[in-house]
Structure 1
Amino acid sequence: MYQKILIALDMSDMREIVFNHGLSLAKQEKNSSLLLLHILSGEEENSPLPIPSDLKEMYPAAGNDLTLTTWKEQWEAFEKSGVQMLESYQRKAINTDIRAEFQQIYGSPGSKICKIANEWNADVIVMGHRGLSGLQEFFLGSVSNYVLHHAPCSVLIVQPDKQ
């Protein structure tokens, strides 16, 4: 049923649950493959804030090379941790005889997930949901809501475990 499964991962605690759901789907179908996708975005929890066009907005004593260097180092560490996470999940999939590749790109998460799903001809997108509602969702937006309404294929939104 689902041969090309795109798993959209972020650095949240949900990533393991989301990956396991996608892997479970892949195990049900012979010759299935996974595309593990991480979108680098300043919107993601744990990411360094996007660098403002005017550093003095964020850092009143900023504007010097040290501030820019510090931000670049934080962003490079964030990128590296994303690749390490993707490589780890790729190994887990391959160890269960599931083909897996990964991509890490920069951009707006919702639109990039839909774009890559379309280009890769995904049968389904598996992704998590942060559980925002009401005003939080209105002001912060909802990546899962965007993908649900714009995806070129089916979407499985994995809910957080009930504690």
Structure 2
Amino acid sequence: MFKLILVAIDGSEIGHRALEEALAVARSMKAALHAVHVVQTETYPTLMLNELEPPDLARQAVLDSLEREADEILAEAERQAAASGVRMTVHKRRGHPGAEITALAQELNADLTVIGSHGRGRIDRFILGSVSSYVVDHATSTVMVVRS
């Protein structure tokens, strides 16, 4: 029996599927549900910079954009949870996604962590490594990996 579930969401299709699975488990077990989106801060300092802008300004523009996107993803997840009758608490973290997800799961004392099998695309997996593998390897809770 799970009492507290953490679901990692990233705005991808597989992230939506992970949320749907987490909502179904939370509803059936009457568990508390938390969702987390991690703004990856260490990967983007040079990948998306406009050469016309000073590097610090360009980096900040990218980070601001990622923060806005995170807020939108979390707001949509809250709407989806409310529509399905599940109360959900959202968290926005910054840093390495795998490390932040596992750290939050530990802080919350989550019984179950739900995550998609991969993120937004092959390039992200190549650049970032496999977040789901990291979570499986480092989580102290049970992990459900949702496939597409």
Given the two structures, how large is their TM-score scaled by the length of structure 2?
0.82
Verify the 8 A CA contact 2:4 2:111 in the aligned structure 1. Answer: yes
Give the C-alpha shift of residue 60 in structure 1: 9.9
Give the C-alpha shift of residue 9 in structure 1: 0.8
Please list every run of at least 4 consecutive aligned residues from structure 1 whose deviation after the TM superposition is greater than 3 angstroms.
Answer: 57-62, 136-140
Distance 1:115 1:73, change over 3 A: same
Q: What residue in structure 2 maps to residue 159 of structure 1?
A: 147
Distance 1:59 1:138, change over 3 A: closer
- Does residue 107 in structure 1 map to residue 102 in structure 2? no
Amino acid at match of 1:51: P
Distance 1:26 1:41, change over 3 A: same
Distance in 2 (alpha carbons) for counterparts of 1:88 and 1:58? 26
Q: What residue in structure 2 maps to residue 35 of structure 1?
A: 34
- Does residue 121 in structure 1 map to residue 115 in structure 2? no
Distance in 2 (alpha carbons) for counterparts of 1:119 and 1:105? 13
Given the two structures, how large is their TM-score scaled by the length of structure 1?
0.76
CA RMSD of aligned residues (A): 2.8
Identical counterparts, % of pairs: 29
Q: What residue in structure 2 maps to residue 50 of structure 1?
A: 44
Distance 1:41 1:2, change over 3 A: same
- Does residue 4 in structure 1 map to residue 4 in structure 2? yes
Larger radius of gyration: 1
Verify the 8 A CA contact 2:5 2:113 in the aligned structure 1. Answer: yes
Give the C-alpha shift of residue 88 in structure 1: 1.5
The DSSP-based 3-state class of the residue aligned with 2:110 is: coil
> How do 1:6-155 residues align onto structure 2 when only pairs under 5 Å count?
6-30=6-30, 32-42=31-41, 50-52=44-46, 65=54, 67-130=55-118, 140-155=128-143
Distance in 2 (alpha carbons) for counterparts of 1:11 and 1:95? 18
Distance in 2 (alpha carbons) for counterparts of 1:154 and 1:101? 20
Unaligned runs of 5+ in 1: 44-48
Tell me the alpha carbon deviations over residues 57-80 of structure 1, each in whole angstroms, 9 at most, x when there is no partner.
987956x53x54343223212211
Give the C-alpha shift of residue 129 in structure 1: 1.2
Distance in 2 (alpha carbons) for counterparts of 1:158 and 1:8? 11
